[in-house]
Structure 1
Amino acid sequence: MACEKKEGRIMRPQQHERALGTFVLTAIIALTATALGTGPAAAQPEHSDVVRVWNLHASDALINAATAVTPGAGQAPPVSQLHLAMVQGAVYDAVNSIVGGYQPYLPDLPPAPRSASLDAAVATAAHDVLIGLGIPPAPPLPQVVLDRLEHLYTAELESIADGDAKTQGVAAGAAAAAAMLEARTDDGRFDPSLSWDVGTLPGEWRPTLPSFANSLAWVGAVEPFTLESTSQFRTKGPKALTSGAYARDYNEVKDLGRALKDLAEPSPRTDEQNKVADFYTVHPQELFNRTFRVISETQGLTVAEEARLFAMLNLTTADSVINCFDDKAFWNFWRPITAIQEGDNDGNRKTVGDPAWMPLVGNPPYSDHPSGYNCVSAAYMHAAQAFFGTNKMEFSVVKIAGAPEMKRDYTRFTDVVEDTIDARVYQGLHFRGADVQGAGIGKNVARWVDLHFFQPVR
């Protein structure tokens, strides 16, 4: 979609209404902070690990399983992505209110003193959003997670010298977090009234093993962070069941995505294809946020640059997920497991059915088209390309789940997307068309965000 670059932020009417109340609250906080301290401006360090540290704390709190060494809420990828966007958006606004230079994400956030502590602002913004997530019907984070966050936050503040800068930083972070929580109240998260349609006709999605749960249908109805609608980037949709293009996708995933019937059977995949299939099975939000923590440190980004990078990454991906799940509900297309087991009934003579066919990896409990994993991977990688102004970057993606660790080296951001497209075919989870069009959503959302948000202020 061709868009003219705008200097002003695109704001929906409901955001504008919320922003009016936010302005009053944040202005009071900022004025209070100014009254508490009137000392001389302190030199502001440009480099600190605080953005990366609190991105890690947020990832642990939202994504880790309850049984992990560092226990977390165990949120599914789409859910954790929405909450990471809230955290990183507030962190960006807190830092930007102090440093300036770019448009705020939420409007009407008052500027903070230039002397305010960036470390205190980042820690407070992240902490307050995480603690405040439990607004009904959203469940709060588990108590063990809340207790750990309080401990981490207390330790962070104790490491910062008392004085005006610290007080002002806390006020800036609190104002940004309060604005974000208010803006996301009643945004459609966890709406229990929504469910997926279950079909019976050829091409229609139906639940399959390992989980028959009808969950996460509400994700596609959540109010977007940056997009004008949840369906702004509607895909072309699945290929017609009777077409030759569908038959090619069908036979590809049937051949390359099947599970072995016994250990003696040779794999239909090459060694490299098996490596790709095995690698991209983990929680993508944990994987990619960790990857970009390493990249941002390696690139020597400032606190302000890191705040903007992680906001761009996570708000872009949140809206890609929302658009993706809206698209899933719209097309409601069957996954390969159903399509191949019912292949003799789809009206296409080139698709031979196999009632015993099973995918290499268990299916998520929602429809095939488009691929959520590729909506996510493409959003992260194209947002990174927009931030750095280039697709060329030498970096590694490391899978730490399981033993030994696995690593894949890349020289371009979009090389990751090529791998994740292939991976979902090799895993037997998606037709290639669903992967490619899912990646298209992520790319389009990244372009939209780059054109309309986080713009430098002249």
Structure 2
Amino acid sequence: MRQDITNPPLAARFFAYSMLAGYETLAQSDSSLMPLHGRLRDYPRIPRPAGQCQAPQLAALFAMLHTAGQLQPSGSGLAAAAAALTDSCRNAGIPAAVVAQARARGQLVATAILAYARQDGYNRISNYPRYTPTAGPGYWSPTPPAFFGAVEPYFNRVRPFVLDSAAQFRPPAPVAFDSRPGSGFAALMREVYQTSCTLTPAQRATAAFWDCNPFALRENGHLRIGLKKMSPGAHWMAIASIACRQRKAPFAHTLQVHTVLAVVLTDAFMCCWDEKYRSNRIRPETAIRRYLDPTWQPILQTPPFPEYLSGHSVISTAAAEVLTHYFGPTYAYTDTSERAFGLPDRRFSSFRQAAAEAAISRLYGGIHFRDAITQGQDQGRQVGQLALRVLFTPVTNPR
């Protein structure tokens, strides 16, 4: 996904369908995995071949690779990963017939999941009118350095997994725009400005650690180089992997954690994006340069979509609810996921502490106002808690 510079909502969607393929493949051989038919919206019954799968974990890996390979623009590159997996099996002495059966079963399930994905409405988004920013003061407009157009303005029209609709947890309206001194909005604007002027080294480090901006660029004269950072959802998927490795969780449990998390991240992005393009609110960078200080710059590059709600706040809080469900409220871990980007590890006493830090990092970074952060946390908590209820209570009304 980094190679494709996949935007945050779409990356979560890719994670969700890829994980579902692996999950459903393994569930055919592992009764500890709860059935998802009737829990996820419009979810099909997955075909189940006759006979016992000789290598169900291997089949699950093939299913994920095949699904991801079909969804991602650069997915053809995953064929090499599948070939490497096949070679490693041969080198380990696994009979070729067992590998072939696992691959066939994985592809069968992947085909069903891909058909489900094609029905979620995302492939119709390209037919919608090109998004035009709302004209007038107080509304979002593209920001430096690249002035990218708005990302995924119609993501709220994609079929959710557990939500009734993307508008299910519609937040209160943002503080009304009013640039006059003494207004509520002017106070929010000044808070971002003053915070940026007094940042401590610890606050700068926090902002950098949670940046997770796949659109970030490094400028060198007239040359702009994409940094290809991971998305915020990918960061939380990495945290899930860290937690599972630390606990030495079995394969089935690890697969379930990642699948549920990916599903919740996708719905959380839908909820957040629904509000972003309803309120279409101006970013701090635009507002502060226009009304306070024309030379001001945030320490983070502003992502290319409206300000309210804070996506990090929504999806991080939702993710923390999921991981707390699995690992408990005091599960401490060290986040090593940013090493590839030259950032030091960070230690957290809980997932909720990490989510709170991710949320406030957007104020430190100068890219969100306070109300977008706090209301985003509320929405994320609602999404996460709803998902856990839907997924872990007996099915009475199939979805």
What TM-score do the two structures reach when normalised by structure 1? Answer: 0.73
- 1:424 has 2:365 as partner: no
Q: Is the 8 A contact 2:26 2:252 kept in 1?
A: yes
Match of 1:231 among 167, 171, 176: 167
Q: Is the 8 A contact 1:377 1:417 kept in 2?
A: yes
Separation in structure 1 between the aligned mates of residue 274 and residue 89 of structure 2, nearest angstrom: 41
Q: Is the 8 A contact 1:104 1:454 kept in 2?
A: no
Match of 2:23 among 76, 92, 96: 92
Compared CA separation, residues 296 and 455, structure 1 to 2 (3 A): farther
- 1:445 has 2:383 as partner: yes
Map of 1:108 onto structure 2: 45
Map of 2:137 onto structure 1: 202
Separation in structure 2 between the aligned mates of residue 178 and residue 311 of structure 1, nearest angstrom: 17
Q: Quote how far apart the aligned CAs of 1:220 are.
A: 2.8
Q: Is the 8 A contact 1:195 1:218 kept in 2?
A: no
Between 168-177 and 276-285, report the one with greater CA deviation.
168-177
- 1:312 has 2:260 as partner: yes
Separation in structure 2 between the aligned mates of residue 377 and residue 148 of structure 1, nearest angstrom: 32
Separation in structure 1 between the aligned mates of residue 344 and residue 160 of structure 2, nearest angstrom: 34
Match of 1:415 among 332, 353, 371: 353
Q: Quote how far apart the aligned CAs of 1:373 are.
A: 2.0
Q: Is the 8 A contact 2:26 2:60 kept in 1?
A: yes
Q: Quote how far apart the aligned CAs of 1:357 are.
A: 2.3
Q: Is the 8 A contact 1:99 1:114 kept in 2?
A: no
Compared CA separation, residues 128 and 156, structure 1 to 2 (3 A): farther
Match of 1:133 among 50, 60, 71: 71
**Aligned letter for 2:19?**
Q
Q: Quote how far apart the aligned CAs of 1:451 are.
A: 0.9
**Aligned letter for 1:154?**
T
Q: Quote how far apart the aligned CAs of 1:165 are.
A: 5.8
Separation in structure 1 between the aligned mates of residue 359 and residue 233 of structure 2, nearest angstrom: 17
Q: Quote how far apart the aligned CAs of 1:118 are.
A: 2.2
Q: Is the 8 A contact 2:309 2:372 kept in 1?
A: yes
Match of 1:392 among 307, 310, 330: 330
- 1:278 has 2:226 as partner: no
**Aligned letter for 1:374?**
S
SS in 2 for 1:409: strand
Which structure is larger by alpha-carbon Rg, 1 or 2?
Answer: 1
Separation in structure 1 between the aligned mates of residue 206 and residue 357 of structure 2, nearest angstrom: 7
Compared CA separation, residues 397 and 272, structure 1 to 2 (3 A): same
Between 210-219 and 416-425, report the one with greater CA deviation.
210-219
Match of 1:254 among 190, 193, 197: 193
Separation in structure 2 between the aligned mates of residue 319 and residue 379 of structure 1, nearest angstrom: 9
Separation in structure 1 between the aligned mates of residue 27 and residue 394 of structure 2, nearest angstrom: 11
Q: Is the 8 A contact 1:221 1:230 kept in 2?
A: yes
Map of 1:339 onto structure 2: 287
Separation in structure 1 between the aligned mates of residue 375 and residue 152 of structure 2, nearest angstrom: 20
Separation in structure 2 between the aligned mates of residue 380 and residue 334 of structure 1, nearest angstrom: 27
SS in 1 for 2:295: coil
Q: Is the 8 A contact 2:65 2:78 kept in 1?
A: no
Compared CA separation, residues 456 and 169, structure 1 to 2 (3 A): farther
Separation in structure 1 between the aligned mates of residue 314 and residue 65 of structure 2, nearest angstrom: 28
Q: Is the 8 A contact 1:97 1:110 kept in 2?
A: no
Separation in structure 1 between the aligned mates of residue 83 and residue 102 of structure 2, nearest angstrom: 19
Separation in structure 1 between the aligned mates of residue 130 and residue 377 of structure 2, nearest angstrom: 24
Q: Structure 1: which 5+ runs fail to align?
A: 1-61, 66-72, 135-139, 258-266, 344-352
- 1:211 has 2:146 as partner: yes
Q: How many residues align?
A: 362
Q: Is the 8 A contact 1:371 1:435 kept in 2?
A: yes
Q: Is the 8 A contact 2:17 2:113 kept in 1?
A: yes
What TM-score do the two structures reach when normalised by structure 2? Answer: 0.83
Compared CA separation, residues 449 and 152, structure 1 to 2 (3 A): farther
**Aligned letter for 2:157?**
A
Separation in structure 1 between the aligned mates of residue 68 and residue 284 of structure 2, nearest angstrom: 38
Compared CA separation, residues 456 and 186, structure 1 to 2 (3 A): closer
Q: Is the 8 A contact 1:309 1:384 kept in 2?
A: yes
Separation in structure 1 between the aligned mates of residue 131 and residue 366 of structure 2, nearest angstrom: 21
1:317-328 matches, cutoff 5 A: 317-328=265-276
Identity %: 24
1:332-371 matches, cutoff 5 A: 332-343=280-291, 353-371=292-310
Separation in structure 2 between the aligned mates of residue 217 and residue 162 of structure 1, nearest angstrom: 49
Q: Is the 8 A contact 1:336 1:431 kept in 2?
A: yes
